[in-house]
Structure 1
Amino acid sequence: MTPAVNGRVTLNGQPLSNLEVIYSLTYGDEHKLTARTDEQGYFSFPEKVIESNLPSKLFDETRVFQEIFVEWNNQNYTLWYTVLPGITSEKVVEEKLAKLECDLTHPEKEYHFDRQDGTDFTQGVFSICNFE
């Protein structure tokens, strides 16, 4: 399952309204959801249960590719891109996706968030959003 997403898209701090936001989830098959920003630039997606037609394997290395992006002035902007290690969501991913604050003037950065699964691994994310 992927968590609900809530975010806002701005340009130099000013909200961008009626902008199409695309949420792509790939686990075997690609699933695309779309939303539009409101007058204040806010958008949201509900949580989604991921199902697959892939056969079960004993040593399956399940990965879920998660991407949220917008196109503005013929350019794509990555609001969120990560590869999840399985079909269950990481707590840190849920927390970050609950409040995306994305300004199209910000450069895309790579972030590494501490996972809370008892390992020393981090969750890598590419995004123009501000997480600091």
Structure 2
Amino acid sequence: MSNSRILHIVVLSLSLMASGVFGMSLTDAGKVCLFSGISGVITLDGEPVANARVVRKADRDGEKQDETTTDEQGHFSLPPMFERTIAKYLPQEFAASQDITVFHGDQSYSIWRGVKRKPEENTESRGKPLVVACELHAEEKMIKVNNSPIISLCTWDVEPDPIEKVF
């Protein structure tokens, strides 16, 4: 094969890639939200939990993790967690596992476990900011929001999906 033919194939391939016909580079790809920004208050027996470590994990194509510490009033805040992807251009179901654990004293408390099934931000709260109140001694509850199951010690302003009856 001649050098000019090879050069022609390379230029054609690069042109197709740049136009999106052949594929899309990661830098041009969209972002999906693995875990929406979340803020709130953590309490233990109704009292604010100060200086607790709040560790958040999300996993879709590889685990991502961040953390923060509660202030003196038990408040915490974590920004949205995004992942760059070309998956939105491929037919596949979106699913990201979510987990938040609070470390206070010598105890750990799983306050949020779920599977996010929509790539948009704030689907855990139907489009509203995700602001929670988490009582560490509360009973775990499981709800579904936008067909995403969430097991949590937290409450927030959201209308759960209707309960499906199985006959």
Normalised by the shorter chain, which TM-score bucket?
A: 0.7 to 0.9
Q: Which runs of 5+ in 1 are unaligned?
A: 116-121
What are the equivalent positions in structure 2 for 1:1-132 lying under 5 Å apart?
1=33, 2-51=35-84, 58-89=90-121, 90=123, 92=125, 95=128, 98-113=130-145, 115=146, 122-131=147-156
1:26–1:48 CA distance, 2 compared to 1 (3 A): same
- Is the Cα–Cα contact under 8 Å of residues 4 and 94 in structure 1 kept in the other structure? no
- Is the Cα–Cα contact under 8 Å of residues 98 and 112 in structure 2 kept in the other structure? yes
* Alpha-carbon displacement from aligned partner over 1:102-128 (angstroms, at most 9, x marks no partner): 011101111123x3xxxxxx3321001
Q: CA deviation at 1:94?
A: 5.0
* Alpha-carbon displacement from aligned partner over 1:29-74 (angstroms, at most 9, x marks no partner): 101100000000000011222135x878844333111111112354
- How many residue pairs match? The answer is 123
Pick which of 3-12 and 80-89 moved more.
80-89
Whole-Å separation in 2 of the counterparts to 1:61 and 1:88: 13
Which structure has the greater CA radius of gyration?
A: 2
- Identity across matched positions, percent: 25
Q: Which amino acid aligns with 1:31?
A: K
TM-score, normalised on structure 2? Answer: 0.63
Whole-Å separation in 2 of the counterparts to 1:22 and 1:56: 28
* Alpha-carbon displacement from aligned partner over 1:86-115 (angstroms, at most 9, x marks no partner): 4323262553x62110011101111123x3
- Is the Cα–Cα contact under 8 Å of residues 50 and 87 in structure 1 kept in the other structure? no
Q: Which runs of 5+ in 2 are unaligned?
A: 1-32, 158-167
- Is the Cα–Cα contact under 8 Å of residues 3 and 94 in structure 1 kept in the other structure? no
- Is the Cα–Cα contact under 8 Å of residues 78 and 126 in structure 1 kept in the other structure? no
Root mean square deviation of aligned Cα: 2.5
